[in-house]
Amino acid sequence: MNSDQRRSSGALLVSLAIAVMLLTGAGVKAEDGYRLWLRYDPLPQQMIELYRPRVTSIVATGGSATMDAIRVELAGGCAGLLGGPVLVAEKVDRDGAVVAGTPKSSPLIASLNWPLAGLGPEGFRIRSVKLGGRAATVIAANSEIGALYGAFHFLRLLQTQQSINNLNISQKPRLQLRMLNHWDNLDGSVERGYAGRSLWNWQELPDKVDPRLRDYARANASLGVNGSALNNVNANSRSLSAEYLRKAAAIAGVFRPYGVRVYLSARFSAPIELGGLKTADPFDPEVATWWKKKADEIYQLIPDFGGFLVKANSEGQPGPRTYNRNHVDGANMLAAAVAPHNGIVIWRAFVYDMKEGYDRAGAAYGNLQPFDGKFAANVLLQVKNGPIDFQPREPFHPLFGAMPKTQLAPELQITQEYLGFSNHLAFLAPMWREFFDSDTFAKGAGSTVTKIADGSLYNQRLTGIAGVANTGSDLNWSGHHFAQANWYAFGRLAWNPDLASKQIADEWIRMTFTNDPKTVSALTRVMLESHESLVDYMTPLGLHHIMWGGHHYGPAPWWDKEKRGDWNPTYYHRADERGLGFDRTKTGSNSVSQYHPPTRDLFADLKTCPEKFLAWFHHVPWDYRMRSGRIFWDELALHYQRGVDWVRATRKEWDKLANVIDADRHAAVAKKLAIQERDAIHWRDACLLYFQTFSKRPLPDGVEKPRKTLEEYQAKSLAW
Ligand code: GCW
């Protein structure tokens, strides 16, 4: 080949490559998942034609950073979705303007004289109107952050291909504080993080701020998440040092235009470690003064600082009880320090001291319930959804409905500590729905957890919810492409805890993958079934905490080596010749009595207890007759098998989508699903072989033979 030929064949290759790229839409960007659900790729032509006349220009006047963000998001988002530039204008001079802002930022919105008071500080209204005879869409709010939320909502309508004719939408968040809790350490590691390293680069801060943090804030704002606790609740005092506060202030500066306020986890003994005091006793005036001064210093640097998040006297953390004071003494002392700045204290209820013969499931109630009505007005008591610890399934925490005079905030875990890390596809909205929909009967029928969380049951003044984040430095943020859906679901439920799982899944799929109806319905089904299937192959029928010690990945029901008895799976499942499960009724720990009747009685009676909670509340005889007519042992085994079958079917389903999902993400998810199948088989075999040593019964028909021996499963934990 001479050089001319080489050149021309090279040119041909290039033009071919371009043609292929144009046809497939590939090559523009690797589909690495970085854009989350905020992808603004062109919609199908017929949608563009429908939308185009209604989106010709963006009118979002005002010079603040938040108004800038609104302009950029709307103009960039609409241009991307509509496949061509959208004008940014000062006024409405044509049909199709999208006007966004507040009565203060926009004379136009002011001139409408809309009654906006009912929207509160963060709500928005979106309406199709005529302005000076021209068709326009107005996104109005009392605050710029409200307008930003409205802008994201408008974009979501486009992304999910909803009609934008005759819009008349008013929304406001049901809970006030909607925050992520990051268990990020100062060395860049993330406790229970499965998506790389921490997003905060403490080494480089404050001089260098990763531009990615802006995208983190955008993603949160798109859901209405308005708080971020930056550091691990297993806190290092240094987070509160002058040096680290300057770093946190730099982060707060990036988050501010997006309405995300920064919170910090406070180590209770910081006055000793940072302040050189001899004690951290909350009744010591020097200690109280130290915290007051610390709060003043923080607010100097971060004027909109949210407040402190505290894990005290839990799992080795210091706390007021270290000094013979109680939780209220500690929380209220900190609350007094931040109160002058309108800050708050979020005190965690995750407290369970090990005592001989005690039941961990009843411990938080025992520790905190007696303090009902004693916490200061700016304290939220943050309670995990279930009484033990973010298990694949737990009944709701009995503190919900038991502290009518205390401001409770649910804590959910978005990161999948006990749910297969970021290797397993498990959409958590259905699990959280089950929690929110639980009826506590605290004030009669209909006293759901939702009504406690949103403050309506007890007129709770300050409301909130936290999700332990699953974000990290991985390009796709959450480790598994589908784990992004859990961040999304958390934010959407924090905004409106009545949203249906199906709607959340549907929105997310459309925004993240495709609007193709067949694919949307196939993926919605997969997502909605995924959590129950994970429960099937991990902890069916009320089993819990049977994971490998320490890392909590994979099964180890035989595990009994932890220094604390209540960290051992054997403590929880109590398998013996008679049966399986923890008796929490009168004949056992009786912690079922922490629930109100009739829930209490329902759970306490083996016959009426929902089967999904059977081994949670009862020591169930192996031959107990289940509703299906099968004995408990057989039913248990079939659940394990069902979980495995589901993963296999899902792999097939996913394979079928190879030509509708981009190659990069398709391959990445396929790889994860292969791991999930391997793990599900491992779970089934290891658990059934182990429990069989007690049940002494054969596996029922339909359950596959284990692949290895029990000894082999016991010898080595699942690798991840
Ligand atoms: O779920 C457990 C985790 C710990 C965590 C603790 C908590 C931050 O195993 O890693 O510590 O809960 O919620 O405080």
Could you read off the pLDDT of 219-239 as tens digits, one per residue? 999 999 999 999 999 999 999
Sign of torsion, CA 266 272 277 279? positive
Among protein residues, the one with the nearest Cα to ligand 1's atom 11 is 234
pLDDT digits (tens, 9 = 90+) for 176-227: 999 999 999 999 999 999 999 999 999 999 999 999 999 999 999 999 999 9
Which of 355-359, 457-461, 549-553, 581-585 comes out lowest in average pLDDT? Answer: 355-359
pLDDT digits (tens, 9 = 90+) for 671-705: 999 999 999 999 999 999 999 999 999 999 999 99
Check residue 115 and report its DSSP letter: -
Element (H, E) at 621: strand 620-621
Looking at the chain, the whole-number percentage of residues with pLDDT higher than 70 is 96
pLDDT digits (tens, 9 = 90+) for 335-386: 999 999 999 999 999 999 878 889 999 999 999 999 999 999 999 999 999 9
Tokens found for residue 398: 């009995």
- Kindly list the protein residues whose Cβ atom lies closer than 6 A to any atom of ligand 1: 183, 191-192, 233-234, 311, 315, 350, 389-390, 417
Ligand 1 closest atom vs CA 234: 8
Instruction: Tell me what the mean pLDDT of segment 509-515 comes to.
Output: 98
Residue 557 has a pLDDT of: 98
- Cα 189 to ligand 1 centroid, rounded to whole Å: 14
Residue 300's nearest CA partner among 345, 339, 249, 336 is: 249
324 burial class (0-12, 13-18, 19+ CB within 10 angstroms)?
exposed
Does position 434 have pLDDT exceeding 70, yes or no? yes
pLDDT digits (tens, 9 = 90+) for 453-469: 999 999 999 999 999 99
Ligand 1 closest atom vs CA 411: 13
Residue 719 has a pLDDT of: 77
Residue 4 has a pLDDT of: 42
Instruction: Tell me what the mean pLDDT of segment 295-311 comes to.
Output: 98
The whole-angstrom separation of Cα 505 and Cα 527 is: 7
The whole-angstrom separation of Cα 123 and Cα 118 is: 8
The whole-angstrom separation of Cα 240 and Cα 207 is: 18
Residue 29 has a pLDDT of: 67
Ligand 1 closest atom vs CA 233: 8
Does position 8 have pLDDT exceeding 70, yes or no? no
Residue 30 has a pLDDT of: 86
Which of 138-142, 212-216, 563-567 comes out lowest in average pLDDT? Answer: 563-567
Terminal C-alpha separation, the chain: 50
Does position 91 have pLDDT exceeding 90, yes or no? yes
Could you tell me the pLDDT band of residue 659, with boundaries at 50, 70 and 90?
very high
Which residue's structure tokens are 């297993």?
Answer: 234
Ligand 1 closest atom vs CA 418: 1
Report whether 43 contacts 81 (CB < 8 A). yes
Residue 346's nearest CA partner among 325, 330, 367, 331 is: 331
Q: Which of 180, 192, 346, 553 to mutate to test the pocket of ligand 1 (most atoms within 8 A of CB)?
A: 192
Measure Cα distances from 698 to 291, 639, 701, 702 in Å: 62, 15, 9, 12
The whole-angstrom separation of Cα 361 and Cα 65 is: 47
Which of 18-22, 218-222, 479-483, 654-658 comes out lowest in average pLDDT? Answer: 18-22
Measure Cα distances from 72 to 33, 151, 153 in Å: 21, 10, 15
Does position 648 have pLDDT exceeding 50, yes or no? yes
Which residue's structure tokens are 């949103």?
Answer: 454
- Cα 714 to ligand 1 centroid, rounded to whole Å: 25
Q: Which of 183, 352, 568 to mutate to test the pocket of ligand 1 (most atoms within 8 A of CB)?
A: 183
Residue 9 has a pLDDT of: 37
Residue 575's nearest CA partner among 513, 512, 492, 636 is: 636
Residue 515's nearest CA partner among 160, 42, 152, 41 is: 160
Among protein residues, the one with the nearest Cα to ligand 1's atom 2 is 389
- Cα 390 to ligand 1 centroid, rounded to whole Å: 9
- Cα 192 to ligand 1 centroid, rounded to whole Å: 8
C-alpha angle 577/580/583, rounded to 5°?
115
The whole-angstrom separation of Cα 625 and Cα 673 is: 34
Q: Which of 417, 468, 564 to mutate to test the pocket of ligand 1 (most atoms within 8 A of CB)?
A: 417
Measure Cα distances from 251 to 37, 248, 338 in Å: 23, 5, 20
Instruction: Tell me what the mean pLDDT of segment 251-264 comes to.
Output: 98
Instruction: Decide: helix, strand or coil at residue 239.
Output: helix
C-alpha angle 50/51/57, rounded to 5°?
145
Instruction: Tell me what the mean pLDDT of segment 135-155 comes to.
Output: 98
Ligand 1 closest atom vs CA 232: 8
Could you tell me the pLDDT band of residue 14, with boundaries at 50, 70 and 90?
very low
- Cα 308 to ligand 1 centroid, rounded to whole Å: 17
- Cα 332 to ligand 1 centroid, rounded to whole Å: 23
Query: Residues with catalytic annotation?
Result: 315, 389, 417
Report whether 183 contacts 232 (CB < 8 A). yes
- Cα 66 to ligand 1 centroid, rounded to whole Å: 35
Is omega for the bond preceding 173 within 30 degrees of 0, making it cis?
Answer: no
Q: Which of 313, 314, 315 to mutate to test the pocket of ligand 1 (most atoms within 8 A of CB)?
A: 315
Does position 409 have pLDDT exceeding 70, yes or no? yes
Does position 18 have pLDDT exceeding 60, yes or no? no
Residue 246 has a pLDDT of: 98
Residue 561 has a pLDDT of: 87
Residue 356 has a pLDDT of: 82
Ligand 1 closest atom vs CA 317: 14
Instruction: Tell me what the mean pLDDT of segment 574-598 comes to.
Output: 98
Residue 563 has a pLDDT of: 84
